[in-house]
Structure 1
Amino acid sequence: MGAAVGGVLEAGGAEVVTSLKGRSARTAGLARSAGIEDAGSLKNAVAAADVFLSIVPPASAAEVAEAVAGALGSRSRPLLYVDFNAISPRTAVEIGQRMTEAGATFVDGGIIGFPPRPGPQATRFWVSGEAAPEAQVLSEHGLDVRDAGQRIGQASTLKMCYAAMTKGLTAIATESFVTASAAGLTPALLTELALSQAALLRWLEHMVTSSPPKAHRWIGEMEEIAATFAETGLSPKMFEGAAEVYRFVASTAPGRETVETRRPRNLSDLADELVFELRREGPSEPEIEQSPGHSGADLP
């Protein structure tokens, strides 16, 4: 997502920089393809940028914020820090407090949609907080930026509520198809869905089959959704379970593929493969890139 966002901003006339120090060859390749400049270090990226966009796995959001806060001394002008990560509102508030204490201007954000491409946008970049209007500068460079409210946490809550329905349903469907496959009922389930839920089936054919390479990122997102709902007074158990679904998927052969190398599979084939993985002994742990990523935009 970060490379795609950077590519749109670059195409829209912004100068986009990042730090690729410690990142994987895949991440470096995506950044180069998007025209994003490697600043060499986080300190250099922070010094160069007018706006810092944090777009990383949820578990790395606080780590990136802390690192940026520590690098703010290298700046000669205020930094606008926009956290676009899939985090709970409480996490957003905590990060916002840390960034404000460090001297940055903080905006809460949430991305809804697929990785964007230059041109007309189907991806929304929701923002909230008193400084949210400042993030509208991103709309001048190709992003569809929308205001969710004046409170930090509102944009993150919107993202959590939306992802609960989309990625949450994808987790439920994954379990349903695996269970149907194990019982030899996949053809019957597909027939019934085609007869009674044709639109849903078309959606699932895309969402479920494309999810394995992204499952390792969605573990933390489900945990953040669980925390969000718990803060509201609801049970977190449904999304703690969804996190376990994605933890399993991430440990399988389909989950170890990347978005670029993913082998095309239909729902039936994927379900059969996941059943095989369930039944074999000792699935491996998901391979998750540990070094956090980040992007800075030097806007004219």
Structure 2
Amino acid sequence: MNPLRIGLIGYGEVGRIFTAGLKPGAAWTGAWDLKFADPAQCGEPLAHAAAAGVVACDGVAALCAEAHLVISAVTASNTLAVAQAAAAHIRPGSFFLDLNSASPGTKQQVAALIEAAGAHCVEAGVMTSVPPYGIRVPMLLGGPHAARLQPVLSTLGMDTQVASEKLGVASATKMCRSVMIKGLEALVLESYATARHYGVEDAMIATLQETFPGIDWQKQGSYFFSRVAQHGKRRAEEMREVANTVREAGFEPFMAAAIAQKHDWMAAQARAGHFTGLGQNPPWQALADRLLAACSAANDA
């Protein structure tokens, strides 16, 4: 894969971060996103790609025709659809790196499609939020071709390690972690907003600080509120894949399903405009106050 040509499917937050970070090590960097083909939405992403020196491809076929390494970075619900589209056009011998938050079963379906097309599928479990780390975000790789791809990704500046030659191990690690992390986000949203309603937030957070002194609960609360307000829809889709992971293990996903519902609810509040005008990183209290006002207005209606 030298000189390396990289194509990103998905030009949202993660796709933009990865194209920017990988571009210096690649001979060609291209991207495809459904918004590119939507006259109502294409202006901003196409302008961003042009300014970043990223080739905006006119479809999956055009991207696959150019790329030695195809990276899928879409929402969880689109994981399989992207693999199906790529499998129809991907070049034999090329690599398909799936970054998406999907269950082990979904990842295995993705691999079956890609491998049948003569390409090599590698799953990735992205183990924490991407923005603070960029392409250095810690990732676990999985599948029989992971050990071949890992040195290439390392050369590009990525922080990866091979979890297993077996597909599904990396994604299972990621999914089980998400029960805790996305669950903690959901708990903080519900606990903090309720405490704000009763005027006991300072006392409540003080007890959290005493019990878990290693966490800055005020700062963490603001981060959780802001991230879920911004990416609740994507997080809810991931948690539905987490629920599938739990089902694949033979358990009923009571917690995962509830977490998905909470994130979906927060995304609906954002779509309704309840957080408009708060800026990029507001304190959690500002977001909680908007939630409480919206709920009060709904109850009075």
Per the alignment, in what secondary structure is the counterpart of residue 162 of structure 2?
Answer: strand
* Count of residue correspondences: 276
Q: 1:239 to 1:280 in 2, by over 3 A?
A: farther
User: Is 1:43 aligned with 2:61?
Assistant: yes
Distance 1:179 1:276 in 2: 12
Partner of 2:160: 145
Partner of 1:62: 80
Shift, 1:32, TM fit: 4.1
Q: 1:47 to 1:149 in 2, by over 3 A?
A: same
Q: Is the 8 A contact 2:69 2:97 kept in 1?
A: yes
Distance 1:155 1:33 in 2: 34
Partner of 1:172: 187
Q: Is the 8 A contact 1:58 1:87 kept in 2?
A: yes
Task: Within 5 Å, give how 1:27-42 maps onto structure 2.
Answer: 27-42=45-60
Q: Is the 8 A contact 1:4 1:117 kept in 2?
A: no
User: Is 1:265 aligned with 2:282?
Assistant: yes
Partner of 1:91: 106
One of 265, 275, 290 as aligned partner of 1:248: 265
Which TM-score applies when normalising by structure 2? 0.82
Structure 1 residues not aligned, in runs of 5+: 283-300
Task: Within 5 Å, give how 1:170-249 maps onto structure 2.
Answer: 170-200=185-215, 201=217, 202-249=219-266
Per the alignment, in what secondary structure is the counterpart of residue 298 of structure 2?
Answer: coil
Matched residue type, 2:245: T
Shift, 1:159, TM fit: 1.2
Structure 2 residues not aligned, in runs of 5+: 1-13
User: Is 1:275 aligned with 2:292?
Assistant: yes
Matched residue type, 1:280: A
Matched residue type, 1:3: R
Matched residue type, 1:125: M
Q: Is the 8 A contact 1:213 1:256 kept in 2?
A: no
Matched residue type, 2:61: K
Residue range with higher mean Cα deviation, 271-280 or 261-270: 261-270
Q: Could you list the per-position Cα deviations for residues 207-229 of structure 1 after superposition, in whole angstroms to 9, with x for gaps in the alignment?
A: 33332101110011111111112
Shift, 1:26, TM fit: 4.3
Matched residue type, 1:47: A
Partner of 2:120: 105
Q: Is the 8 A contact 1:135 1:145 kept in 2?
A: no
Distance 1:172 1:83 in 2: 29
Partner of 1:4: 17
Which TM-score applies when normalising by structure 1? 0.82
Distance 1:144 1:257 in 2: 37
Q: Is the 8 A contact 2:274 2:294 kept in 1?
A: no
Q: 1:117 to 1:22 in 2, by over 3 A?
A: farther
Q: CA RMSD in A?
A: 2.6
Shift, 1:255, TM fit: 8.0
Per the alignment, in what secondary structure is the counterpart of residue 118 of structure 2?
Answer: coil
Q: Is the 8 A contact 1:8 1:117 kept in 2?
A: no
Matched residue type, 2:181: T
